[in-house]
Chain A
Amino acid sequence: MNHSILLSILCAIAWGVQSIFLKMAMRDIPLYTAILITLIINFLALVFLIGIGVGEGFSEFYNISGSVYFYFMVAGFLNYFLGRTFYYSSFRFIGVTQSTSISSAYPIISVVFAITVLGEKLDLHQLIGIGLTLSGVYLLMMRGKR
C-alpha cells in the first residue's frame, strides 16, 4: 500500500482515539489541565522534529515575516486554543462520539466561507456532501430528543 495512504490512516486512527483518551483523562483532571498537557506534548513533538532536522533548523524562525507569523498565530488561536477548548469542553456534556462527529463537520464551514467570501462555485458532489453532513449533524443533535 502507498505510504501516504498508510500515514493518512495512521493520522485518522491517532486523531480518532486521542479524544477517547482525553475524555477518560477528564474523569480525573480538570478540562484546562488536560488541554494544557496536550498542547505541551504537541509543542515538544514539533520542537523535537525541527531539532532533529525536519526543515531548516531553528534559525528559520528568524526569516519568517511578520505577516506570516500573524496568520499562523490567528490559526493557532482559532484551532488549538478556541477550537480545542470548545471541543474538549463539550465532552463534559455529550458523548465523545457525538462531539467528535459534529466537530468533524468543519470542512463545510471552510466551503461556506469559500462560497460567500471568495465567490467560489461548488460541484454537484460537494453539494451532496454538504447535504449529507448537515443531515448527519441533525441526526446527532436530535439523538435522544424523542
Chain B
Amino acid sequence: MSRWRGQMEAVLSSICFGIAPIFAKKGLMSGLNPFYGATIANATALAIMIFFFFFSGRGMRLESVKRNGLFLAILSGICNSIALISIFGALSIGKVALVVPISCIYPLFTLLGAYLFMKESEVIDHFTVMGTFLIVIGVILTT
C-alpha cells in the first residue's frame, strides 16, 4: 500500500511539474526576465508553505529538528538553487534545443548518487537502471 502511495505521489508530482510550465510560459510571453517569474513562483509556494506549516501546528515541532538533517536540507536547497540558476544561465546563452535535453539527464545523477551513497536503503536493480535510462532517453526525444 505504501509503495503504491509513493508511486502515485511521484506520478502526481510529474503531472504538477508538467502543467506548471504552461502557466510559466504564458507569464514569460510578456517578455519578463525569468528570474522575476521564478521569484514570484517561489515566493508564492513559500508563503503557502509557511501558512500551512504554522497553522497546522507543525511549527511547534521545530525544536525537534536535528542539526544533521538541517544541514542536509540546506545542502539540498543550495543544490536546488544552483540547478535553477544554472538552467537560466544556460538558456540565456545557449540554444533551448541543446540545454533542455542535457538538463533532463538528472535522474542518471540521482541513480549514481544513490548507488554511491545510499546503498543501504536504495534497491538498485536491472528494472531501476533500465527504467531510468528509458525515461531519460524518452524525455530527451520528446523535448
Q: Are B33 and A56 in contact (CB under 8 A)?
A: yes
Task: Give a binary string over A11-55; 1 marks a CB under 8 Å from any B CB, 0 the rest.
Answer: 111111111111111111110111111111111011101100011
Q: Are A143 and B125 in contact (CB under 8 A)?
A: yes
Q: Are B66 and A29 in contact (CB under 8 A)?
A: yes
Chain A residue nearest to B2 (CB atoms) is A93
Assuming A8-B90, A33-B62, A56-B33, is B79 touching A136 (CB within 8 A)? no
Assuming A78-B20, A132-B134, A143-B127, is B104 touching A107 (CB within 8 A)? yes
Q: Are A55 and B90 in contact (CB under 8 A)?
A: no
- The interface size of chain B toward A, counting residues with CB under 8 Å, comes to 113
B12 nearest CB across to chain A (Å): 4
Q: In the complex the two chains form, what is the Cα distance from A48 to B132 in whole Å?
A: 35
- The interface size of chain A toward B, counting residues with CB under 8 Å, comes to 115
Chain B residue nearest to A102 (CB atoms) is B10
Q: Provide the residues of chain A in CB contact with B134, threshold 8 Å.
A: 132-133, 135-136, 139
Q: Are B94 and A87 in contact (CB under 8 A)?
A: no
A-B contact count (CB 8 A): 447
Chain A residue nearest to B9 (CB atoms) is A90
Q: Are B41 and A128 in contact (CB under 8 A)?
A: no
Q: In the complex the two chains form, what is the Cα distance from A74 to B41 in whole Å?
A: 7
Q: Are B10 and A45 in contact (CB under 8 A)?
A: no
Assuming A3-B93, A94-B3, A97-B122, is B103 touching A102 (CB within 8 A)? no
Task: Give a binary string over B37-75; 1 marks a CB under 8 Å from any A CB, 0 the rest.
Answer: 111111111101110110010100110011011111111
Q: Provide the residues of chain A in CB contact with B128, threshold 8 Å.
A: 95, 97-98, 101, 140, 143
Q: In the complex the two chains form, what is the Cα distance from A71 to B37 in whole Å?
A: 9
Chain B residue nearest to A44 (CB atoms) is B81
Q: Are B109 and A107 in contact (CB under 8 A)?
A: no
Q: In the complex the two chains form, what is the Cα distance from A69 to B83 in whole Å?
A: 23
In the complex, 30 of the A-B residue pairs with CB atoms within 8 angstroms, ordered by the A residue number, are A3-B93, A11-B103, A12-B102, A12-B103, A15-B109, A17-B109, A21-B79, A29-B73, A33-B62, A38-B76, A40-B46, A42-B42, A46-B35, A46-B38, A68-B32, A72-B23, A90-B7, A90-B9, A91-B6, A96-B110, A98-B128, A101-B110, A101-B128, A101-B132, A107-B143, A108-B139, A110-B18, A129-B137, A133-B134, A136-B136
